[in-house]
Amino acid sequence: MNIVREKIIYGNKNANRNDFHIVFGIDDDFVRPLGVLMTSIIENNKNESIVFHIISKYISKENRRIIKQFAVENNISINIYVIDKDIFENLPKTEYISRATYNRFLIPNILKDITDKVLYLDADIICLNSIKLLKKINIDNNIVGVVEEANKYVKKQQIKELKLKFNKYFNAGVMYINIKNWMKYDVNNKILNVLKSKKKFMFNDQDILNIVLENKCTYIDKVYNYGFDVRYKPNRYVYNLPENIIFLHYVGKFKPWQKWCMHPVKNFFEKYSSISLWKDVPLDEPKTYKQMKHMGKSYSIYNKKIKAIYWYLKYAIYKIKSKL
């Protein structure tokens, strides 16, 4: 099967192996948060030569236009790889995790002739500082540089569930990948073997990567993948974040581009959104009854009781309609 159906290069055509390569795997509806992430990276790394790579099964005409504009205005190279839409059709997905999460499995095969090392980032991340120190991290003897899962309960649970021998479990939202070692260790075939087992995993591709890459990881500082869940009431957690965070990762079900996300830590996303080409894109409105419930709960948490009642009533009505 030909994995890449179409390759598009926008902006600077003079990219080379010595540039710092960053790759994303997304669905078309994630272009807005990705654009804000790319904006935050450029803003904090003006002296770095960066190349962006986007792997997706579909990018709309309008999203291609704005990505091209971003590349041209910032004089950078953005490579889009449109992959076969059926490649992950038989793999599991959830309401909150799409099959685009499996795109990271394809990264080494697609980029092996372009670069030796690449940084993979989820699109629900914001860059807050320079990446220059990350470039110096030595992963020559391993396959990936990763950060341990911040949620201690999840970490403990998955180490036990997956029978991991080295008492480590990483969050796959940020991975600094040594492509040569990935290919040498035949990671993709090992992933396929795990998939053939038909076993159900709590965190799908992240669990699979933890199984296959166990003891092949360089664990790096949490500032490179600082997870923060914006579902909760502010006073439940300290949210004066460390100043040296490189990548702030909006983990969990709530995202800062959704109207029902009201946590103050969304301000980092808003800061870079306001100076991006995506500044005029409105926040996601609640469309499903579950999202309406989130809206009601958020208003309740932030003491906006009338609005909370309105959205809880709307949630109840739409839930009843969905069951009829």
Helix (H) or strand (E) holding 127: strand 125-127
Cα separation of 248 and 67, whole Å? 22
**Assigned CATH topology for domain 4-226:** Spore Coat Polysaccharide Biosynthesis Protein SpsA; Chain A (3.90.550)
**How high is the pLDDT of residue 196?**
76
What is the pairing mode between strands 170-178 and 144-148? antiparallel
Residue 303 has pLDDT above 60, yes or no: yes
Q: Where are the domains positioned within the chain? A: 4-226, 286-324
Closest listed residue to residue 67, CA positions, set 288, 278, 218? 278
Tens digits of per-residue pLDDT, 71-84? 999 999 999 999 88
By CB atoms closer than 10 A (0-12, 13-18, 19+), residue 86 is exposed
**How high is the pLDDT of residue 218?**
97
Q: Residue 286: CA atoms inside 13 Å, Cβ hemisphere, count? A: 21
Q: Using a cut of 0.75, tell me whether the model's pTM lies above it.
A: yes
- For the beta carbon of residue 113, count every other beta carbon within 10 angstroms: 8
Tens digits of per-residue pLDDT, 191-229? 888 887 878 888 888 999 999 999 999 999 999 999 999
- For the beta carbon of residue 8, count every other beta carbon within 10 angstroms: 14
Write out the two tokens for 203. Answer: 């965190």
- For the beta carbon of residue 143, count every other beta carbon within 10 angstroms: 26
Closest listed residue to residue 201, CA positions, set 165, 232, 163? 163
**How high is the pLDDT of residue 88?**
59
